[in-house]
Amino acid sequence: MLTRREFIRAAAGGVAATALADCGTDMGDASSAPPLPADRKWLTLLAKGMDKEYDHSADVEGRLPVGLTGTLYRNGPGMFARNGFSKRTILDGDGMIRATRFSDGGVRFRNRFVRTTKYVAEESAGEFLYPTWTTPAPGFFSNIPCIPSRSQAGVTPVVKGGVLYAFDEVGGPYPIDPRTLDAGRETNPYEGEAGTGPVNYKAHTKTDAKTGDWVLVGQRGQRKPELHVVVKNSAGHQTRHIAYASPRGRAYFHDFFWADPYAVFHLQPAMLSPLPMLIGTRTFAESLEWRPEEGSMLFVVDTTGARPPLVLDIPASWMWHALNAHVAGNTIVADFVGYDTPDHFLGPDASFRAIMQGREGVAKSPGTLRRMTIDLAARRARVETILAGRYEFPFVPQRRVGQPYRYGYVSSSRVSDQGWFHDGISRIDVTSGKEQAFHFGSGYYVGEPVFAPDPAARGDGEHDTGWLLAEVLEGASGTSFIAVFDANALADGPLAKVRLHHALPFSFHGWWDAAQT
C-alpha cells in the first residue's frame, strides 16, 4: 500500500506523465524478433488461457505404479486476456489450480480459477481493472500508480493442516478447500501484533524436513523495505519472527534458501526504479534494470536472533529458484539454478514476452546448476557451477529440504531450438555432477518435476524411492499429459502418461499430497 505522501507524489507525477507513454499501451514492442516457425507455433498454447473449468476422468496410457495414491496440485496463470486486452508475459495471469487425483488405479482431473478479490471484480466487470507485475490495466488513470496491489494467487500451491494455499507475490495466500478447490478470503499467516509483520509474502515457502517447521518470507514497506521471516511449527503455531531492513532495498528476488536456523536471501542486481511506476508509465517488471557490474549480495539471517545478519558479495547471477541448502559445520551449502543474465525475462524480445505475440524470443543465457558455499566464520562465500546445461524449476523431495542430500531434479533441455522452453527432466547428482535424463525432444514442453514418495519405501538412504510427475504439452496433438517416471530410472522414459483431452497453459509449481485422493 502507498503512504499518503507517496500517493500525492504519484498523483502529481501523473500530470507530467500525460506527455509520456501511456502505461496501458504495449511499450517496447518494436521488435526484430521474427514469428515462430510453423513447426513451433504450438508453443503459443502455453500462453493461451483456459476458457473452461474441467472435472473429468483422464485416460491412462501405460501402467500406473502401485502405491501412487494422492493428488498432484499445480498452480499457474490460467487467464491471460479479457475483453481483447492481453497480459504482456507468460508469467502474468490469474491463478488457476489444477488437481490430478490418483486413486484405485484411475485418475481424475479438475481445474478451477482461484476466486481472488481481483478475479471476482474483473469477472463481474468483464475486463481487467488492476495493474499486475508485468501488465498495466487498460486506461491511463487505472495505472497511477502502476504498482500491483491485488494478488492473482497464481504461483505456488502448498498444503498445510488440510488446507491448500495459493501464493502470489502480492499480499497473502488464499486458502482453498483441497477437495472442491473453492477459495476463501486472502489470509495473513503472521500471528503477531498488527502492523509489525509482513504485508506481501513471497510465493516460495520451505517446510523443514527435520522439524516440519513451515518457513515463510515477506516484505513490509516500499521506500525502505523490511525483510521478514516467519516460522510456524508443524502444529501451525508461530514460533519465530524476525525482520531486518534489506541491505539492498530495491533489489528484486523471488525465492530464498533455508538451512535451519538460517534464511539466506540472494539479492541479485535486478534493481527497481520506482518513479516510472508511481507516475504510471512503467509496470513493475519494466522498471527492473539488470546491473551485473554491481554483483549479487547475500543476506544471511539467523532466525533465532543469536547472530547478527551477515552481508556478503558474490558475482552477479539471476536466480528464480533455489534447489536446496543445508548447514555443514560452520558452512552453509546452497544450490540453485542461476543465469548470467535474465535475457529470457527482461527486454522487448525476451522469450517470456515474445511468446505472447507468437514470436521468437531471446533466451541466450541458459540456467545452470550452481552452488554457493558460505563460510560463516571467515565471512566469505564462493560460487561454482555444479553442471552446465539448460535447467529450471529445481525440485528436491520434501524429506530432504534443509538437509544434506545427493539428488536434485530439474526440467531440462537437450534441444536448443525451443529457447528457454524445456523438453525433458533430469536427475542431477549434486556430489558428482552426473546427470540422468529423459527428453521427449522437439515438439514437447515439460514443466517442473514433482516428487511423489513411494509409501512402501523404508530407510533414509541417498536414493529417493518414488516417482516424478511432470506436466507435458505435446505439440503434435495440441494436448497435455502428466508423465509419471521412476525417479531412479528416468532414462527408461515414463511409466505412464495421464492423457487429457485439452491443452494446459504454462504453470509454475506443484505439490504432492498423499492425503488427498
Q: What letter represents residue 47's amino acid?
A: A
* Cell numbers describing residue 122: 474483473
Q: Quick one: which of 461, 458, 450 has its CA closest to 513?
A: 450
Give the chain's length.
Answer: 517
Tell me whether residue 204 is annotated as binding. Answer: yes
User: Which residue(s) pair with 451 in the sheet?
Assistant: 468
What DSSP element (H or E) covers 16?
helix 4-17
Tell me whether residue 439 is annotated as binding. Answer: no
What DSSP element (H or E) covers 352?
helix 351-354
Cell numbers 552481508: residue: 311
Greatest CA separation found in the chain? 67
* Cell numbers describing residue 398: 520434501
User: Judging by beta carbons within 10 Å of its beta carbon (0-12, 13-18, 19+), is residue 490 exposed, middle or buried?
Assistant: buried
Tell me whether residue 321 is annotated as binding. Answer: yes
User: Judging by beta carbons within 10 Å of its beta carbon (0-12, 13-18, 19+), is residue 329 exposed, middle or buried?
Assistant: exposed
In 3-state terms, what secondary structure has residue 499?
Answer: strand
* Cell numbers describing residue 352: 517470456
Q: What letter represents residue 85's amino acid?
A: F
**Rounded to an integer, what distance in angstroms lies between the CA atom of residue 76 and that of residue 92?**
9
**Rounded to an integer, what distance in angstroms lies between the CA atom of residue 343 and that of residue 350?**
6
What DSSP element (H or E) covers 240?
strand 238-245
Residue 238 contacts residue 223 (beta carbons within 8 Å): no
Alpha carbon 348 to its chain centroid, in Å, reads 21
DSSP helix, strand, coil percent of the chain (3-state; round to 5): 10, 40, 50
The three-point CA angle 38-42-45 to 5° equals: 145
Q: Quick one: which of 41, 56, 170, 162 has its CA closest to 110?
A: 56
For 506, residues 6+ apart whose C-beta sits below 8 A from its C-beta are 46, 47, 76, 77, 90, 447
Extract the annotated binding site: 204, 254, 321, 509
Instruction: Cite the annotated binding site for Fe cation by residue number.
Output: 204, 254, 321, 509
